[in-house]
Chains A and B, each alone.
Chain A
Amino acid sequence: MTELADATRTTEPAPAGARVGLEGLVRTYGATRALDGFSLAIEPGEFVALLGPSGCGKTTALRVLAGFEQLDSGRVTVDGRDVGKISAQHRDMGMVFQSYSLFPNMNALNNVAFGLRMRHQHAAQRRQKAGELLELVGLSDQAQKYPHQMSGGQQQRVALARALAIEPRVLLLDEPLSALDAKVRAELRDQIRQLQQRLAITTVFVTHDQEEALSMADRVCVMSAGRAEQTATPATLYSRPTTPFVAEFVGVSSRVPVEPVNDTVTLFGESCRVRPSDAGVPTGEVDALLRPEDVTVTLDATAKPFVTHKSFLGAITRVIVQVDGVAVRADVRSDVAADIELGARVRLAVVSRDVLVARRAPARPAPTD
């Protein structure tokens, strides 16, 4: 029985996957620097998400790791060995693509067995293993179906089985859920995470969807302009962002103009410490970045701030309060928010005693969510 099949039958994780190192990667396309000194160390068996807006270089980083892109400079290592000169064919990395990538001329079973065929495994052996993999992704009844006869979700599950069939040292997922509808996406997200944990394969997952990244990954690397802004666990990334970009890209933040004095700022009449940031404390005009859950709202008829919007989100309601021409978002328990009418005068306070500040951004339209 194969190592992979054994791993799927036990609750204990299999031996950890490979250690991956991306060191100072630079890749340019004409005048554009898609990767600008990008570095990341991935532990064996770890699930790391590369998160960032379009054009931040996350897919380029993944393609460099897969061997589909050449580097201008930098180093890619797998278990300490430089793989820069090794072609994609010999890197032993399973990849699931954003677009449906199953071979249209092969049924699901033959698609999964393709990598094994390239490794010259016997027909019976590869059929058996491909069958096991299809069972693993819950598609053993679809083995004889061709890609055009399967749904998008089924195709991506077959693509996942195909990538796992070669027992890759690293599993690369290039936005595999982006073409799927919300329900299928959530199901497949859970399935990928469960499989990755059972098989303990080092996995790199590229996405622009922060919900996906935060819910699936052990660590998330937020990228911007070809660089890693911050790499941390989802909880740290959300609660302790080290750069203004991360604070605004991950989760929701409100910008409130403040004046720093000796590393402190005054927010809603209370003094708060300025949290040290990777970018240092900016000088000149700055804004405090506040999470909605860090702001409390209390009804006070004598206060100036007033409520402009309310969005019911289940257990909580997001309230937008106008303070001196600035919109501040605050999350309030829905039973408490029921008493807060639109236009009501409220008093705001900050829960956290240290806040992240950033150079003032150009004026933007008021948020409505």
Chain B
Amino acid sequence: MAALIPDVVEDALVIVEPPSRRRWPRLRVWRAVVLFIAGAYFLIPIYAGLRFSFENDAGHLSLYAVKAIPSEPGFSAAFWLSMRLAVVTLALTLVLMVPTSVYVHLKFPRLRRLLDFVTILPIVIPPIVLILGVLRAAPLWLRASPYLLSLVYVILSMPFVYRSLDAGLSAIDLKTLVEASRSLGGNWLNTLWRVVVPNLRSALLSATVLTLALVLGEFTMASLDLWTTLPVWIYQFQQVDAHVSTAVSMVSLVGTWLLITLIVSLDRSQSRRARRRTKNS
């Protein structure tokens, strides 16, 4: 057979052979390499942080840093301040953004592009510029309150929250749902609370997670406004005891992760319950 086919044709046959057998293993190797590099990029700092948290000054394994966290001066106040700011920011953001997004989608859909642009501004403007401007403009009584930070965090979280809500609202037939509710006697509040919000569960969840992550990790503004939130405390305490400070970072990382997992699993279990109810009926 080979003798009957000239060499050139044989080469051509080799070229047109299905590529799958030769290329797939190479692709799999590349995937593994990319995954490994990305994994290392995320995991090495966490591993280093964890290892440093479980070491004493002599470099031996020790739980002293973790055990010392609750009793360290200022930790408790910083922790609860961050928690309060997170809750207030989340509440303010959702109360402000949910009705606004719904209203724009319903009544002024053309303004969505403008809102897209406006809500992206906090990403473009450096936090330091934003907080200095706010500190100059805010009245004294507000400057004296830590909740000024919440007001600024609302602005910072807007790009993420608006995009989550916008995607959620675009995924439902908002106009029809609202009109159906109104024709059945629902007022605006009932319509929002019983019809719109439950159908935005995933979007709200995503907005919540992003807002919490942002508030619990924000350093620049809190530091410039002279409030000791958890990230500021971690930074300051680094100069006293770097092991404890790193341990707090790790605990706060794990804590945030647990919080997010809890919220997501609550959402999933609710969906599962609904499915089970339907199956049993």
Contact = CB atoms under 8 A, between A and B. Distances in A.
Query: Are A and B genuine complex partners?
Result: yes
Chain B interface size, as a band, is 20 to 34
Contact of B274 (A66, A101, A146, A166): A146
Contacts of B274: 146
A29 B195 CA distance: 29
A100 B172 CA distance: 11
A118 B186 contact: yes
Interface of B: 172-173, 176-177, 179-187, 190, 194-195, 198-199, 201, 274, 277-278, 281
A105 B190 contact: no
B183 A94 contact: yes
Contacts of A323: none
A144 interface: yes
A82 B104 CA distance: 30
A104 interface: yes
A95 B179 contact: yes
Given A89-B186, A95-B183, A166-B185, A144 B278 contact: yes
Interface residues of A, number: 35
A245 interface: no
A143 interface: yes
Contacts of A97: 176, 179-180
B195 to A, nearest CB: 5
B266 to A, nearest CB: 15
Nearest to A118: B185
27 contacts: A66-B179, A67-B183, A68-B182, A88-B183, A89-B182, A90-B185, A91-B183, A93-B183, A95-B179, A95-B180, A97-B180, A99-B176, A101-B173, A103-B180, A103-B198, A105-B199, A114-B184, A114-B186, A115-B185, A118-B184, A118-B185, A143-B281, A145-B278, A145-B281, A149-B278, A159-B180, A163-B183
B198 A105 contact: yes
Interface string A111-125: 000110011000000
Contacts of A102: 180
Chain B binding site: helix, strand, loop or mixed by DSSP?
helix
Contact of B180 (A101, A146, A149): A101
Contact of A144 (B172, B181, B199, B281): B281
A144 B280 CA distance: 9
A92 B185 CA distance: 7
A107 interface: yes
A102 B177 CA distance: 7
Interface in A130-156: 143-146, 149
Contact of A146 (B181, B195, B278): B278
